[in-house]
A = this chain, B = another copy of it.
Amino acid sequence: MRFVKKISTLKKIISHRKKKGDIIGFVPTMGYIHEGHLSLVRTARKQSQFVVVSIFVNPPQFGPKEDFRAYPRDLKRDMQLLKKEGVDVIFNPTNKEIYPEGYKTYVEVFDLSKILCGVSRPTHFQGVTTIVLKLFNIVQPDIAVFGKKDYQQTVIIRQMVKDLNLDVKIVIGKIVREKDGLAMSSRNTYLSNDERRRAVVLYRSLQWVKNAYKKGLRNPKKATQRINNMISKRGGRVNYVEAVDKDTLKPVRNLKKGTLIGLAVYFGKTRLIDNIII
């Protein structure tokens, strides 16, 4: 496994591999690797001959009052975990390597970036699409794997890839959960023991809505209101709960197959997201 800091070095490695005919698989991460990331790496491994994982905590996708500085980092542990999975290259550039002085260019997928998580994080997805485009241009992957927990992100990236005529196959890996159902996230480490226990309500509320739909619930307002109540009772501060079409992310009039229930909830200062497609 190679550990690469420089864009120019990585480009040379990739160019060499492409000439050999290798299919390049790519998993972009912000590090603090957990089982969710590792399952994406395994997916990339299966579908490619050469796997690149980037570890880069991307400043532009954090708002001015968000947790860029506090975001958990443990490079040594990340390297050990990724080595075990047979990753070929870890790309871990500095901020300056990615955004040198005088950096000016940003990509935005309009409308999709301003709804759901984009309401309270108005510049977040512009930061995401910009870094993902840059990483795609650097890594030149044939396939790139993203996690389904960041569902809106996957829709936005698919749209960007289509709109910008990129030749990357986007693969979405399933949500990996803790035993009690909490979706794995590097941010779970922020939770106190008490918050951690209460946070299970996110998964439970999503399971509830799935079952309620099976039993005949069709009214999205009733569904999201009930989820709201369930979460509030367990001390979560709801940022949003919405029922939207899984492809367009537009609100649905009636719950149906292909409706995404997405939510963002604060426990203390920690913002968690989760979703389910019914």
A interface residues, Cβ below 8 angstroms from B: 7, 11, 103-112, 129, 133-134, 137-138, 159-160, 163-167
Contact = CB atoms under 8 A, between A and B. Distances in A.
Contacts of A112: 104
Contacts of A137: 164-167
Given A105-B107, A133-B164, 19 more contacts: A7-B165, A103-B163, A104-B109, A104-B110, A104-B111, A104-B159, A105-B110, A105-B129, A105-B159, A105-B164, A106-B107, A106-B108, A107-B107, A108-B108, A134-B164, A134-B165, A137-B165, A137-B166, A138-B165
Contacts of A7: 165
A108 B110 contact: no
Contacts of A11: 167
Provide the main secondary structure of the chain A interface.
mixed
Contacts of A108: 105-106, 108
A11 B178 CA distance: 44
A7 B159 CA distance: 17
A129 B112 CA distance: 20
Contacts of A105: 107-110, 129, 159-160, 163-164
A175 B104 CA distance: 27
8 contacts: A104-B109, A104-B110, A104-B112, A105-B129, A106-B110, A137-B165, A137-B167, A138-B165
Contacts of A109: 104-105
A71 B133 CA distance: 32
A163 B98 CA distance: 8
Contacts of A106: 107-108, 110
Q: Report, nearest first, the 10 A-B pairs whose CB atoms are least far apart.
A: A105-B163, A137-B165, A104-B109, A107-B107, A105-B109, A104-B110, A138-B165, A105-B160, A134-B165, A104-B159
A11 B166 CA distance: 11
A69 to B, nearest CB: 24
Contacts of A129: 105
A104 B110 CA distance: 5
Contacts of A159: 104-105
Contacts of A110: 104-106
A134 B103 CA distance: 20
A103 B180 CA distance: 40
B104 A163 contact: yes
A108 B11 CA distance: 24
A112 to B, nearest CB: 6
A186 B107 CA distance: 30
